[in-house]
Amino acid sequence: MFSVKKALKENPKLLVIFGLLVLLFTATSILQPSFRDPGTLTNTMRWIGLYGIISIGVAFVIITGGIDLSIGSLIALSGVMLPMLLKGDIFFSEPLPVPFAFGLVLLISLGIGFFHGVMVTKLGLQPFLVTLCGLFIYRGLARAAGNDQTQGFGGDFGELKDALVKDKLFDFVPMSFVVLVIIGVIAAVVLNKTVFGRYLLAVGHNEEAAKFSGIKTDRVKIAAYMICSLLGGFAGMLFVLDTNGATPSSFGNFYELYAIAGAVLGGCSLRGGEGAIFGVICGAALVQVAEKAVFFLGVEEKSKFTVIGIFILVGVIADELFRRLSDRRSGAGGGGAPPSEAPASPSS
């Protein structure tokens, strides 16, 4: 079974990420003691849970050497569709049962991921361009489907909201965080303990070598985009259940950047072939703790994103410097393989 302790031992970069998270939390708690109040911690975990899910999805694509810029718009589309399906305002004249509504949104999300994967693999288009187009397309579809009006649940579906987002385990841990942990464990097992996970890392490490070793690289990359969109669509439904409504023009704006930042801070290399789910969760937590810390330390709203951006940049620089130092040490010890001799299927 996947072990956090083993992951930290095998990938020292995760220690840097985890250390930064602990350092930021400790420093903010000292400067502003209310930051560690139970209510604040619960609220922070709630957002870590929601953003962590999309960070895990994007991580699968980044590990293959790709990118997905459409996550925020997909969240808007799924967030607008769910309340409309449950109320019978779209596709059907009658309200759909909850399982069918969830299933339809997830099916559409899978279809979007499949479309991205086919465009990238079969037509050879750049992932940046394909998903950038998706960013505009899905936002437009969300606005058209919702008639550019806020779509919400009102006072209905309270039990659904509580079960997936608002209830607290042990009166402290929000359900969104519990859902993140469940998804994180499944994703870690897939990445570290399955053939697909090894193929995923191999494709990102060296796609040509992976092809020559018999791996069907196109299928692996398509599957990665489908996983990303599936988690994006699922997270969109959780976000709208949390907020009780979605405005098509703004819901999910910039969420793709939060997701990418969490994945990259968590150790996923934009060059592909590298990533760990525990690191991605820590990266997503780091982004959210940084955002909350900025608020609690009294930074003006207009300067918030500047400070968060600088902090993320410092974290990425620290991670890159640590990687270079680690590469030099392994090279000096004779353990580093030249790029041309890199294994096609790195062990997990």
In tens, the pLDDT along 323-340 reads 677 678 767 655 444 444
* Predicted pLDDT of residue 9: 62
* Predicted pLDDT of residue 308: 73
Q: What totals of helices (H) and strands (E) does the chain contain, helices first?
A: 14, 4
Cβ partners under 8 Å of residue 158, min gap 6: none
Q: How far apart are CA 217 and CA 63, in angstroms?
A: 13
* Predicted pLDDT of residue 12: 67
Q: Is residue 118 packed enough to be buried (19+ CB in 10 Å), middle (13-18) or exposed (0-12)?
A: middle
3-state secondary structure of 166: helix
Nearest to 13 by CA among 328, 239, 325: 325
Name 174's bridge partners.
168
Residue 190 near residue 331, CB atoms below 8 Å? no
Please give the single-letter amino acid code of residue 198. Answer: R
Name 151's bridge partners.
246
Residue 268 near residue 56, CB atoms below 8 Å? no
* Predicted pLDDT of residue 6: 60
End-to-end CA separation in angstroms for the chain: 12
* Class for the domain spanning 4-327: mainly alpha
Output the pTM of the full model: 0.89
Cα–Cα separations (whole angstroms), residue 199 to 67, 122, 194, 205, 214: 18, 18, 9, 10, 10
Cβ partners under 8 Å of residue 299, min gap 6: 307
* Predicted pLDDT of residue 270: 84
pLDDT tens digits along 221-278: 999 999 999 999 999 999 999 999 999 999 999 999 999 999 988 888 888 888 899 9
Give the count of beta carbons closer than 10 Å to the beta carbon of residue 134.
22
Structure tokens at 347: 């062990």
Ranges of the chain whose pLDDT falls below 50 = 1, 335-348
Q: How far apart are CA 105 and CA 87, in angstroms?
A: 14
* Predicted pLDDT of residue 328: 81
